[in-house]
Each structure stands twice: as structure tokens, then as C-alpha cells.
Amino acid sequence: MKKLFLICAALLLTAGCAEEKKMHVDASFADTSWVGLGLSELVLRADGTFSWYQNEGKPEGDRYEGVYEAYRAEDAVKYVTGIETYKITEAQLEAMFDGEDEHTKENFIVYMLKDEHVWYEGKEAPEMCDELIYYGYLTENDTLLNSVNMRTGSLCTFEKKKNGE
């Protein structure tokens, strides 16, 4: 009986580990790098992983690494209105889409960064891992990302890094 229990437990654990959640990554974000106003660099890969370096082009320094999800337009609206914590409604979002300065539903974005590893002052700092959600707009022909941290309200502005930079 004990042997049967151990076999069943092992099968359940194996099945759970094999089923990996597929992260939603809008094509606007896949395989892009973004440089922040403070000269940090956010690298978003097509496989749903990210790295956020404190200093552009210095992956060996302080950084966050993990998985992300990114949504745009109607998908972004559905994602953010589905988060119970923030109680955002479609009507509230529609009021934001004024159509001026590219603040339209088509340019509306929401992305979530879930840290799996954080390095601070040269050491891994797992206690600093977090999950943050940002919303905003992707404008200027998809080269300017203006977003707000939904927890803190802080603004993050990034310019898309051109290939080869």
C-alpha cells in the first residue's frame, strides 16, 4: 500500500512539473530591448522570459530576471479588468482612450513581470522577488513605451532599442 502511494505521488508530481504555464506574449514585445530614462535596460524574449538590468548593456550587474506576460489592445483590456485586486472596469478604460496622442485602445498595453531571480549588490537576493503589473501605451510606431506600475503609481518610460545597438 505504501509503495502504491509513493508511485501515485511521484506520478502526480511529475505530471504537475511537466505542465508548464504558457506565458502570453504579444508580438509587439517579443524579442525586444527597451532602454529606460534612467538608462536601465529591459530585455523581453519571445519565450516569455525577461531580464531588467540596472545599467544598459551590463548583464553582470544588479538585475531582475523572470517571466513576463504582455497584452495589447482588447487582450490588454480583458487581462486588466480580470484582476480583482484593482477593480478596473471596461467603462473606466474606455474613458482613458481619448484617441489623442495615440492613447487609443489599439495602443493600450498591460504587462506583468514576475521575478524569479534578483541580484543586488553582486549577490542573489531572493527576498526581493516580486510580481508587478504595468499598464500604459505603446506609441511612436511602437518605439515608445509609457507605463505605470499599478501598485506604486510610478511612471516607467522606455525607448525601443534598435537592432544592433
Q: What is the pLDDT of residues 27-54, one digit of tens each?
A: 999 999 999 988 999 999 999 999 999 9
Q: Which residue has the cell 531588467?
A: 52
pLDDT at 102: 85
How confident is the prediction for the chain on average, in pLDDT?
A: 86
Q: What integer is the mean pLDDT of 16-21?
A: 42
pLDDT(9) > 70: no
pLDDT at 115: 98
pLDDT(5) > 70: no
User: From the CB of residue 151, how many other CB atoms can be counted at a distance below 10 Å?
Assistant: 13
Task: Judge whether 70 and 134 are in contact, CB under 8 Å.
Answer: no
Q: Nine-digit cell at 105?
A: 485602445
Q: Is 12 exposed, middle or buried (0-12, 13-18, 19+ CB in 10 A)?
A: exposed
pLDDT at 143: 96
pLDDT digits (tens, 9 = 90+) for 101-139: 788 999 999 999 999 999 999 999 999 999 999 999 999
pLDDT at 14: 32
Task: Judge whether 68 and 50 are in contact, CB under 8 Å.
Answer: yes
